Amino acid sequence: MRVATAWQVVVGGVLACAMASCTAPPKPSAASVTSSVPDRAAQVAPSEPLVVTAHAGTLTSVTVTTDGGRTIPGSLRDGGRRWSTTTPLEFGTTYRVHALAEDVERKPSAPLNSTFSTVKPVDTVTVERTRPTDGDTVGVAMPVSIYFSRPVTDRAAVERRLSVEPSVPTEGSFHWMSDEQVNWRPKEFWKSGTIVRVRAQLYGVDTGGGVMGTDDTETSFLIGRDQRAIGDVNTHTFTVFQDGQPIRELPASYGRSVYPTQSGVHVAFEKHTSTRMRSDTWGGPQKGQPGYYDEVLPHAVRISNNGEFVHVNAATVGQQGVANVSHGCINLSPANGKWYFDFVQIGDPVEIVGSDRPLTPADGDIPDWTIPYDEYIKGSALYQPR
């Protein structure tokens, strides 16, 4: 029997390996690609952009198309490591994603091929309006109000997409007034000169029961000069302050005992050069009853929704500064009422003191300051006890 030498074994092995083209398998690419939406996901809410990410490499191509063949635009960022859509995803649409990346050695990754479909809403909701409106200048007591086109049932989901961004650091909170209105007020009055940006990013957000937001909105407003008024029902005075200093003390007449002007912080929110006032519109005397009135009065500043105005009443000038004879309004003389009308800003606070009937959240269009701040913050859907 013939025994091979060690040299023969080595040579034979080399020859056999050469004949079989014996080489190490190619090293796979270190790069990989993922999508922010999993493959075959359904009922996806289109509230966020689609993001494609390269790991251990950079993207070389990303193509996103709809079933109809339409290409969705996007942009690269983070040095080519991320790609995101630049237009919102649409409702009720199927998307196909194809993407490749390469590692530092220019080796291509395995391709990403995935599909997903977005939700078709049961119904839709929008921000119907905001107050203040875009570009307004308002007083230091004006809260932010956001009104929705239909009731919101998932308040937390909506509130997470709302923001109030003051240019001056300002503590404050959202508070839901109803399913169709949420307010935001600062803990204390705004600082004059603050610019406030309000954003509602509701596109694609499920507001409850499959009702989806269809728009993003943004507004901004300015906090004007610090102007306030204090009405004292016992001294029959109406004192106006600017930047913390009293500038005028006006004689006034307040509500008689049966119809007292309510105590607390009111907010000026409407101005009328003249307005019709009827006692039966706010729960006062009805037509045919003693005390009923129906008259047009000039220079009226509405401070609540329960019939309270600061307005001119020439018929009570003799009682102004002496006695309270109105049905709850603050009566001023023609000269003083015109001066205050021209002076006041929408959003200026009007605090009534000395009355034994307090203003309540049920009484005003802007009741925010009737609610202690510790209670106000509990009206946020995202409130967390400390």
Catalytic pick among 266, 299, 311, 327: 311
Is 22 a known active-site residue?
no
Comparing CA positions, the residue from 287, 312, 303 lying closest to residue 345 is 303
The Cα–Cα gap between 158 and 147 comes to 12
Q: Which helix (H) or strand (E) holds 75?
A: strand 74-77
Give the tokens for residue 127: 């921000």
The Cα–Cα gap between 34 and 42 comes to 17
Catalytic pick among 236, 266, 327, 329: 329
In angstroms, what CA-CA distances link 107 with 24, 31, 42, 111, 113? 16, 8, 33, 12, 18
Distance in angstroms between the alpha carbons of the first and the last residue of the chain = 91
What does 103-165 look like in DSSP terms, one character per residue? -TT-PBPPPEEEEEEEPPPSEEE-EEEEESPTT-EE-TTPPEEEEESS--S-HHHHHTTEEEE
Is 329 a known active-site residue?
yes
| Residue listed under structure tokens 């006034």 | 252
The Cα–Cα gap between 30 and 102 comes to 8
The Cα–Cα gap between 347 and 361 comes to 17
What does 76-94 look like in DSSP terms, one character per residue? EEGGGTEEEESSPPPTT-E
Bond into 285 cis (ω within 30): no
In angstroms, what CA-CA distances link 126 with 116, 119, 176, 215, 251? 26, 17, 16, 6, 46
Residues annotated as catalytic (active site), given as ranges: 311, 329
